[in-house]
């Protein structure tokens, strides 16, 4: 029987929001994989990443045949491509209901290609708590649109997850926003805050968070970004 063994390359857990997305999805769906952490802080990370990821970015999933007499491994770089690849083997990556699935795909694509103010002004740093100097119009705009999307999904499909009863890819795509909001206290509605608590409480998010706090390496650029964004109130990292 042909069997594949999945390896997911990620950068780290404190800062790497793109890495979190497929990682949390695979954990929540009990998809077996090996995790390889390849930190960004080496200075030569791009050359290192290029050894396994054509784009020089993570996450990158390698799906190798266990029977290595056949050279037929597959490399899937980019978080959305990983989710779509997994969905071929595990249909529960997306909701089974067509309307929910369509909505989940649109919202995921919007996250994948949008929300630059949230990304640039509120870089993920799980262990920090920061009081933002300001919420400018661009950031407020992104928060409002995410809030609108979340309320729509939760109301339309009945919760507790964005597209219904099960954790699916759309929850994974927005999972970094929950950590960002925990760090920067973003101005979300009560319904969205409740949803964020749901996401932060799922076992794999708690595992990710605990591992993030244990990481000892620091990325200078990300540390500076957090300092520029506001006043550092707490740092729970070791
Ligand atoms: N669109 C990509 C973005 C991946 C990405 O930017 N990953 C970051 C780590 S969180 C990275 O590899 N950065 C290294 C670089 O940009 O050189 C995806 O969805 O996977």
pLDDT in tens, 8-61: 999 999 999 999 999 999 999 999 999 999 987 666 778 889 999 999 999 999
Are 125 and 221 part of one and the same domain?
Answer: yes
Which among 63, 93, 123 is the end of a domain? Answer: 93
Mutation test residue for ligand 1: of 18, 46, 83, the one with most atoms within 8 Å of CB: 18
Mean per-residue pLDDT for 165-176?
A: 98
Q: Answer whether 83 contacts ligand 1 (Cβ < 6 A).
A: no
Domain that residue 193 falls in: 98-235
Which among 43, 67, 93 is the end of a domain? Answer: 93
Are 88 and 135 part of one and the same domain?
Answer: no
Atom of ligand 1 nearest to the CA of 112: 19
Q: Answer whether 130 contacts ligand 1 (Cβ < 6 A).
A: no
Are 84 and 129 part of one and the same domain?
Answer: no
Is 217 a residue whose pLDDT tops 60? yes
Which among 67, 93, 119 is the end of a domain? Answer: 93
**Residue 50 belongs to a domain with what CATH number?**
3.40.30.10
Show the tokens assigned to 188.
């979300």
Are 24 and 66 part of one and the same domain?
Answer: yes
Count structural domains, the chain.
2
Mutation test residue for ligand 1: of 58, 77, 215, the one with most atoms within 8 Å of CB: 58
Q: In what order do the strands lie in the sheet with 60-65?
A: 34-37, 4-10, 60-65, 74-77
Q: Answer whether 56 contacts ligand 1 (Cβ < 6 A).
A: yes
Are 152 and 176 part of one and the same domain?
Answer: yes
- Ligand 1, atom 18: nearest CA belongs to which residue? 78
Are 83 and 127 part of one and the same domain?
Answer: no
pLDDT in tens, 112-161: 999 999 999 999 999 999 999 999 999 999 999 999 999 999 999 999 99
- The whole-angstrom separation of Cα 55 and Cα 60 is 9
With tokens 């099960």, the residue in question is 166
Mutation test residue for ligand 1: of 23, 42, 57, 125, the one with most atoms within 8 Å of CB: 57
Are 89 and 102 part of one and the same domain?
Answer: no
Are 141 and 231 part of one and the same domain?
Answer: yes
Atom of ligand 1 nearest to the CA of 57: 12
Are 160 and 215 part of one and the same domain?
Answer: yes
Are 183 and 154 part of one and the same domain?
Answer: yes
Model confidence band, residue 2 (pLDDT cutoffs 50, 70, 90) = low
3-state secondary structure of 30: coil
- Ligand 1, atom 14: nearest CA belongs to which residue? 57
Q: Answer whether 105 contacts ligand 1 (Cβ < 6 A).
A: no
188 CA distance to ligand 1 middle (Å): 26
- Ligand 1, atom 10: nearest CA belongs to which residue? 16
Are 104 and 87 part of one and the same domain?
Answer: no
- Whether 86 and 25 have beta carbons less than 8 Å apart is answered as yes
**Residue 148 belongs to a domain with what CATH number?**
1.20.1050.10
Are 116 and 231 part of one and the same domain?
Answer: yes
Dihedral (Cα; 139, 145, 150, 151), 10-degree rounding: 120
């Amino acid at each position: 029987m042909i069997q594949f063994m999945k390896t997911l390359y990620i950068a780290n857990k404190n800062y790497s929001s793109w890495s979190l997305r497929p990682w949390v999805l695979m954990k929540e769906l009990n998809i077996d994989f090996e995790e390889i952490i390849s930190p960004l802080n080496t200075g030569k990370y791009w050359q290192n990443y290029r050894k396994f990821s054509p784009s020089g970015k993570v996450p990158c999933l390698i799906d190798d045949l266990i029977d290595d007499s056949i050279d037929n491994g597959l490399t899937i770089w980019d978080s959305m491509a990983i989710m779509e690849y997994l969905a071929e083997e595990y249909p529960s990556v997306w909701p089974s209901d067509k309307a929910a699935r369509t909505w989940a795909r649109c919202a995921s694509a919007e996250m994948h290609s949008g929300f630059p103010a949230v990304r640039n002004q509120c870089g993920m740093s799980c262990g920090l708590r920061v009081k933002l100097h300001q919420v400018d119009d661009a950031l407020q705009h992104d928060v409002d649109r995410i809030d609108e999307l979340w309320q729509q999904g939760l109301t339309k499909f009945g919760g507790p997850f964005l597209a219904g009863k099960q954790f699916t890819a759309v929850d994974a795509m927005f999972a970094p926003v929950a950590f960002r909001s925990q760090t920067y206290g973003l101005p979300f509605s009560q319904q969205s805050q409740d949803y964020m608590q749901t996401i932060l409480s799922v076992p794999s998010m708690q595992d990710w968070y605990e591992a993030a706090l244990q990481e000892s390496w620091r990325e200078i650029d990300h540390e500076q970004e957090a300092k520029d964004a506001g006043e550092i109130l707490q740092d729970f990292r070791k």
